[in-house]
Every structure is written in structure tokens, then in C-alpha cells.
Chain A
Amino acid sequence: MGEDEGEGGHNEGVVENVSDVTRNPTHSGEELPPLETPWQESFRLFRKDRLAVAGAYVLVLLLLTAVFGKVLTEWVVVFDPEVVRLPEKFLPPLTFSSPDEVPAHDRPFGGIYLLGTDELGRDVFARMLQGSFVSLSIGFIAVGISLAIGIVLGGLSGFYGNVKLGVVTVDTLIMRFTDVMLCFPTFFLILTVVALLPPSIYNIMIVIGMTSWMGTARFVRAEFLALRKQDFVVAATSIGARDRRVIFSHMVPNAMAPVLVSATIGVATAILTESALSFLGFGVQPPYATWGNILADGKGFIFDAPWLFFIPGMAILVVVLAFNLVGEGLREALNPKLRKR
């Protein structure tokens, strides 16, 4: 973080040189192409942030884990998270399963419990594998819902804000609704709704998504308001491009940077919210294993079997930290204002 000052200053110099050259009459015949596209520049800046790069590697590893976890625990069952082996409960990590106690078809892969077993003798490694996919999909789907609502409402408000609906404008209507939603204490609202609805993993995703779109709506609106006055949008409108085209091919791509940042951080928040809900007993219910409910179940065995508590806890910490660091790295890399300093 913050290691790019020298580089940023240097880069600014280069850009100035380019414009000098283009303005110089002796070179007027040839147009110099830009040294790099904005995305290339952002990528270069992102790579200088070592914490964010480390976070990105963790996330790639996590994605692979989640995909392999789904495949290996549900489709090709190599690690079965649901086998109960009562003779072998509370085994610490890296213990071999003894062939006398457990029938052959119930033995873990390779005969070893990589992360130990829980109070029912289930393989914690297999449960963590299964949980990685569930936790991650809660994060992604909740953020997907929140982004969809936020972008549509923010975009409507920013682009069609002046349209009158009776006495109030679209902008007033949408932004006042956003204000009202911001009034509710998010976590308590989520808790209330989750408790009212029948317990289901989809309800948790939907409720987290529907209570976290307000930030996105606000800055998409701000971006749209700023973009509408930009020359390229005015030009596109003036040559008769339809609204749909102006919005989707000119404005949306330019408003994506902050959306990407908030999406990354949003996934982290959703995973934390799920674990907090699990702690209170309103999280994802069995048979799904998530890191949140493995951790919440493990807190009862903190003295007898500390690995049941520390393994999921550290896993959540590392993954959420990675999402946050990547999000911050993206924010610094994509924001031209921060870049210049």
C-alpha cells in the first residue's frame, strides 16, 4: 500500500510529454498511440501493491478449492463430509484412521484426517471443502443481487432522474427510498427477516443482497450524473444513439470501477454476515456445511477440540482479509485521483 508515489509521478510526466509531442506542430502529421490503456495502467499499479497481490493469489486458490470441493464432495465423492464415525470423534488433525474401528467404505481418503474430526467423527477437511463452495456462493449470489438492484436503481436515478412521475421526480423517489433503507440497522434487519422466513440458504442470500445495495445505488448514480455531462456521452447522444446504447456501451463501462471495488468488499462482508448469523443460530442450516456454521458449532468444543474452532475461524479470517485487501488494492489502482499523489 502506498508504494506507488514515485511511479505515479513518473507516469504523469510521461503523459505530459505525450501531449506536448502531439501539440508540437513539427510532429502534427503522426498521432502517437497511448502508451498503455487505462486497464493496463491499473493492472500495473495493482501489481505493485504486494498485499493486494498476495490477496489475489489467495482468492485464486480459494476459487480452485471451492470448485474442487464441490466436485470431490458431491459429484465424485472422494471426501464425504456426511459420514458419521462415532468411534473416531474428536481426533486431532493429521491422525490416521484405524482400520479396526471404522469399516473400509467409511474410511477417509488416504486413511488420514487432515484436519481432524468433529463431535460426530465427520472429517473436518471434507466439511471445510464442502463449506468453501457454499460460503463462497453465498457471498457471490448476495453481492450479485445487491449489485443488480444497486446498478438498476442508481442508473435509473442518474440517467432518468429528471423524469417526472406526478409531483415527484424519479430521482427523488429512488434516492429517498435509498435513504429510508439506510435508516435501518442492517444486521438487525437481516436477523429479523431471516428469523421470519423459513430457514433456507437461498433466503439468507436474498436477504443479505436486498439489504446491502444502497451504497452501490448511491455511487452508480453519482457516476452517471458525472458521466452524462462528459463530452463522449453528449457526442453519442447528439449523433442520435438510443438511450440503451448510450447507457450500456458508453456509460456503464465507465462506471464499473467503483462497482468492482464494492463488489469485492461486499463478498467479504457477506461471508462475515453469514458467520455472524450462524453464531446466533440463524445461519445456514444442516445439511449444508458453511465455514460460518462449522465455526459456530466448533465454539462449544473450544477446550476439548480447539481445531474445530480455530480452523474455520482462521479460514474465514484469511479469505475475508484477502477479499478486503484485493478490494482496497483495486480501489487504489482504479482511482485516478489517488494515483496522482
Chain B
Amino acid sequence: MQAFILRNVLQRLLLVFIVSVLAHSVIHLAPGEPSEVDPANPRMKPEDIAKIREAFHLDDPLYMQYAYWIRDLVSGELKSFKDSQPVMGKIWRRFLNSLPLFICATLLVWTLAFPTGIQAAIHRGAVYDRSTTFAAYTLISVPGFFLSYIVILWVVDLFGVPVIGLKTFGMELAPPFSQAMDRIWHLVIPSLMSALGGMAILSRYVRSQMLEVVGQDYVRTARAKGATEDVVIYRHALRNALLPFVTMFGFLLPGLIGGSVIFEQIFAWPGLGRLGYEAILARDFPVILTLNFIAAVLTLAGTLLSDILYAVVDPRIRTGLQGDG
């Protein structure tokens, strides 16, 4: 088991290196160099261009530029072009804002998708199955911001739910309890809207996974020995159907950055996705570069975690590993 983890970690470290090289090259692969990116923009003054040239050490060879970037990143000296703040600090503050939204949305996705998917699989072909299938496809197919705007129009008048920002302006003097409630109240609609798409996709996976398992011999055996339907479904079938979802944890983490751009933009939520969008608008290369790199590292960490979890959860893989040595 230790050997397995060690091998995986080493492989991932190699990948992190390749990812950092690739992330760094993305901005150099584009035609022209970063300093010339927006020559028509009247706000690009000569000092801005000089700043970019210096920050990227554009007069040095490419591998030196890369080395400088890594050095600044590790030592925390990498500065944003926009306000000369340290990049890591900016990202960390935005990360703390994104985290509650991400946790709420993830909880919603996982708690609602499983019952829906399981019920659909049990009643395959029935009205419930067909209507949830259709609803799921509709949610997958609708542009996220289109649906959000419709929901905003509808809920704000009806329930008075706030849909802008993460707290009410001027609440700083209110008692802590009111402040906390205000924060939670602000989370409702953004987390629900960013959860809907994931919920639809996950419930489809759960359904097909359950269908796969329900046809297996051990489920028939459980039925044959007289277990009640609930025991058959929830103890024998569901446990085995859950296995592949362990791997999906790995793909959750990068959603912190990439998946949230649209929704944080709609709801004026000052999180990581919006930081990325603002950085792109402002051509703030250190922030863009670092965000892409961090997202990739998060993905790698996630897949590592899911590989280890998988080995822990699934005895077949564990024994396979011991067999290897």
C-alpha cells in the first residue's frame, strides 16, 4: 500500500512539473508576446509594457523565464499587474469566499442526485424515470446563465432572496448571528443554480451505475434468499454501485475555479472564478497563469486522493496491489 501511494505521488509530481511548463507556455504559445497583447488599447502605457517585460523577463531565454516564474511563485513574490498585490494572497482571500459556495453546491449535488438516480433506476421505464430523464437532459442542455436569469426574475419578487454578492452591504455592525444568517441567506440561490447542472449529470451516472449493478448475479442471489427489496437495493446493490463515485471526488476540486466563472459572474460573488475573469479582462498574466496552474495541481491532488480512496474501498484493487508485491 505504501509503495502504491509513493509511486502515485512520484508520478503526480512529474505531472505537476509538466503541467507547470505547459501552463507557462500557454501565454507564450499565443502569437506575439504578452507585452504586445493589446497594442490598440489606449490604456496600455509604455510603463505598463515595461512592467510586463520585466515581470516576465522577456529578454531572457524561455527556460529562464520559466525558472523566474517558479522562483517568484514559490517565494510568494509574484505580484499582480493590476494592483501589485502578492498573487498568492489575492488567490487565498478569494478562495475563502469561493469555499462556502463550493461546499454548499457540492452537498446539494450529492444529496439530491443519489435518491433521484436510484429511484429512476429502480423504476426503469416508468413515468418517474422518463420525467427525471427528460428533466436532467433539459438541465444539462440549458445555458447556465439563461436559466439563472429566469430564476432570478422569479425568486426575487416571490421570496425576496438576495442574489447579489455574499453579504448585505452595511451589515458589519449587526450582531454576529444576524451576520451569519445574512451570509447563509445569500448562499441559497447561487449554490442552488451552480448545483443544478452537476445534479443532472450525476443523477444520470447514478442511474446507469445502478442499472449495471441490479443485473448482477449477487443481486439475484440476495433476492432469492428472501431479502426484502429495500435490503436488496440499499445494502447489496447500492454499496457496489457507489464504488465508481469515489473516483468522481477527484474531479470536484478543479470545479472551484473553472466551473464557477459563469455563476460567480452572474451573482457578483467575489470568488476564484471571478478573480480569474477579472484577471483576464485586465490582462493580469501572473494571476491567470497561477490560477491555471493551481487548478491543474488541484486536479492532480484530487485524482491522487481518489486513487488512494479507491484502493481503500475496493478490496479487489487492494488485493491486486498486494499480489504485485
A residues adjacent to B (C-beta < 8 A): 1-3, 5, 51, 176, 179-180, 182-189, 191-193, 195-198, 268, 272, 275-276, 279-280, 282, 292, 295, 299, 302, 309, 313, 316-317, 320-321, 323-325, 328, 341
Inter-chain CA distance A316–B142, complex, in Å, is: 7
How many residues belonging to B are interface residues under a CB distance threshold of 8 Å? Answer: 51
A188 to B277, CA, bound (A): 9
Q: Which of B141, B149, B153 contacts A268 (CB 8 A)?
A: B141
Q: Could you tell me the distance in whole angstroms from the C-beta of A68 to the nearest C-beta in chain B? A: 24
For B54-67 the 0/1 string (1 means CB < 8 A from A) is 00000000000000
Distance from B278 Cβ to chain A, minimum over Cβ atoms (Å): 11
The segment out of B107-115, B161-169, B227-235, B292-300 that lies at the interface is B292-300
Q: Is B86 an interface residue (CB 8 A)?
A: no
Do A196 and B37 touch (CB < 8 A)? Answer: yes
Q: Is B143 engaged at the interface, CB distance under 8 Å to the other chain?
A: yes
12 contacts across the A-B interface (CB closer than 8 A): A176-B18, A183-B19, A184-B299, A185-B255, A185-B257, A185-B295, A191-B276, A193-B26, A279-B145, A292-B143, A316-B143, A321-B141
What's the minimum C-beta distance from A323 to chain B, rounded to whole angstroms? 8
Q: Is the interface of A mostly helix, strand, loop or mixed?
A: helix
Q: A5-B124, A176-B18 are in contact. List 19 more A-B contacts (CB 8 A).
A: A3-B125, A183-B297, A184-B22, A185-B259, A188-B257, A188-B273, A188-B276, A188-B295, A189-B26, A191-B276, A192-B27, A195-B281, A196-B26, A268-B141, A272-B141, A313-B143, A320-B141, A324-B141, A341-B211
B137 touches which of A3, A183, A309, A325 (Cβ 8 Å):
A325
Tell yes or no: B138 within 8 A of A by CB: yes
A179–B15 CB distance below 8 A: yes
B280 at the interface (CB under 8 A from A): yes
The answer to whether B125 touches A5, judged by C-beta atoms less than 8 angstroms apart, is yes
Contact in complex: A192, B130 (CB < 8 Å): no
- Kindly list chain B residues whose C-beta atoms are within 8 Å of the C-beta of A272: 141, 143
Min CB distance A136 to B, Å, is 15
Name the B residues within 8 Å of A3 (CB-CB): 125
B259 touches A276 (CB 8 A): no
> B residues within 8 A CB of A196?
26-27, 30, 37
A313 to B151, CA, bound (A): 14
Instruction: Chain B residues near A279: list those with CB within 8 A.
Output: 143, 145, 262, 265
Q: Name the residue of chain B whose CB is nearest to the CB of A55.
A: B137
From known contacts A183-B300, A295-B143, infer whether A188 and B31 are also in contact, taking CB-CB under 8 Å: no
